[in-house]
Structure 1
Amino acid sequence: MDIVGLSVSSLDVVYRHRLAHGEDPRHAAAERGWKVERALRAELSGDDLELALLVSPLRGGPRRPSRTRSDSVAGAVVRQRPAAYGIVLCEDSLLATEFSSLTGVPGQWGLPGGGIEHAEDPAHTVVREAWEEAGQELEAPVLIDVQSDHWVGHAPSGVLEDFHAVRLIYAARCPRPKRAVVHDVGGTTSAAQWVPLQRWHSVSWTRGARSLLQRHLDSCVSGLSAEFSCRS
């Protein structure tokens, strides 16, 4: 994945780099003297992805590298997985999907989404996954954030992986919500549900999903309410 930093004040390109394995785009920006304000767009460039970030000058200048980069753990399969997920709303509910026993967090809940297929637009990934995992049709998703996690551990298959997850986070509206149903039976999703907004805190979310919802849900709901007002 290629990263492009655009000045929030002028939209000029202020840096470009190839996202290294295990590297967080926010830390990479800080090491270059910039603070990520928001994710702007993610699009295909040839067969690869290009992620554009709006950035502003970091007070105090460039930061030192947050960690010492080293070789992968001996015997671990190195894997960087770009994926796309959606904070999907209807008028009063949030779409949630439950992880199956094929994952490392069975029984916990997350946002609909998954791995970006070869030459697939990330926004289309969210649309496709919402249908496969929950039977819902979405309108055009909007990129709002990027999330990065890096760990070494055993996958559910037993394979030792040096795993780098790069998640593009979208906001999306479901104009015609239906009963949630999993179409991709036997995969990483065991169930899906519409969660009333007033009780979203009570769901057993993964750590990453809860963090994203705490950061973005209120603004996503406000944007949805404004859209309905404009259409009425």
Structure 2
Amino acid sequence: MDLSGAELYRAPLPHGADPAPLSYDLGFIAEQPLDARRGPDGELTLWFLARPVSGERRPPERPPGRDPSLMVVAPEQTTTRQRVAAYAVVLSDRGLLATQYSDRTAVEGRWGMPGGGIDVGEEPADTVVREVHEETAQTVELGDLVAVQTSHWVGRNPEGQVEDFHAVRLIYRGTCPEPGDPVVLDVGGTTADARWIPLAERRSITWTANWRDALDQLLP
């Protein structure tokens, strides 16, 4: 939509696509995300502040990645899956709330932000509040949707199945007015640990590549 709130375009997000180059191909620059919510039909819609293309170059589009340990797999043995998840960059007077990935993921030991997959019929904002509490035992106040990040790769999921996987991450800002000691309540899931990271120590943490890029964009 534009600054007046008028809808400029509407299009489905195909498997593997990113909203920025998709918008460009439709003649628009998606300048910033505004909201993500479900319509009366239950479908999830992302809203962006947008304007017509005016000489800008097409946003870069990364090619699909591939698990380096994966042997050649026939297409019929690969499952295609698109997963939309919601996360929060949560700040408090104790720092930045971070979660460590467990051995059920391909990035065991690395760190990211709390959040997770959106359940059927669930609003993204409700997902963030629920997931943050499950993964860290913290109660947060949610702010704006500030970024939409996508990844596309072929690899093995925690169950060992080969997937052509498209991750769509909705990233919100959040605050925690009464921070406590983080505790992982969802034991046995994809989160191994949670802690508050002082902002001055942020760059010493081993983040996943996607979260490192997102935090460089969203934090000083």
Q: Counterparts in 2 of 1:1-232, with a 5 A limit? A: 6-7=1-2, 9-45=3-39, 46-60=41-55, 73-218=75-220
Tell me: CA distance 1:154–1:12, structure 2 relative to 1, closer, same or farther (3 Å). Answer: same
Cα distance in structure 2, aligned partners of 1:149 and 1:125: 20
* Residue 92 of structure 1: how far off its partner (Å): 4.4
Gap regions ≥5 residues in structure 1? 1-5, 219-232
**Secondary structure of 2:207 counterpart:** coil
Cα distance in structure 2, aligned partners of 1:65 and 1:75: 30
Tell me: CA distance 1:108–1:67, structure 2 relative to 1, closer, same or farther (3 Å). Answer: closer
* Residue 17 of structure 1: how far off its partner (Å): 0.6
Q: TM-score, normalised by structure 2?
A: 0.89
* Residue 91 of structure 1: how far off its partner (Å): 2.2
State whether residues 94 and 179 of structure 2, in contact with CA within 8 Å, keep that contact through their aligned partners in structure 1: no
State whether residues 88 and 113 of structure 2, in contact with CA within 8 Å, keep that contact through their aligned partners in structure 1: yes
Residue-pair matches, total: 210
Tell me: CA distance 1:155–1:143, structure 2 relative to 1, closer, same or farther (3 Å). Answer: same
Cα distance in structure 1, aligned partners of 2:214 and 2:124: 18
State whether residues 32 and 63 of structure 1, in contact with CA within 8 Å, keep that contact through their aligned partners in structure 2: no
Please, what is the CA RMSD of the aligned residues?
A: 2.2
Cα distance in structure 2, aligned partners of 1:77 and 1:166: 17
Tell me: CA distance 1:52–1:158, structure 2 relative to 1, closer, same or farther (3 Å). Answer: same
Q: Give, as a single letter, the amino acid of the residue that structure 1 aligns with 2:9.
A: Y
**Secondary structure of 1:117 counterpart:** coil
Cα distance in structure 2, aligned partners of 1:36 and 1:154: 32
Pick the structure with more helix per residue: 1
* Residue 10 of structure 1: how far off its partner (Å): 2.9
Cα distance in structure 2, aligned partners of 1:64 and 1:83: 23
Give identity over the alignment, percent.
45
Cα distance in structure 1, aligned partners of 2:181 and 2:123: 27
Cα distance in structure 2, aligned partners of 1:124 and 1:100: 24
State whether residues 33 and 61 of structure 1, in contact with CA within 8 Å, keep that contact through their aligned partners in structure 2: no
* Residue 86 of structure 1: how far off its partner (Å): 0.4
Highest RCO, 1 vs 2 (Cα 8 Å, sep ≥ 6): 2
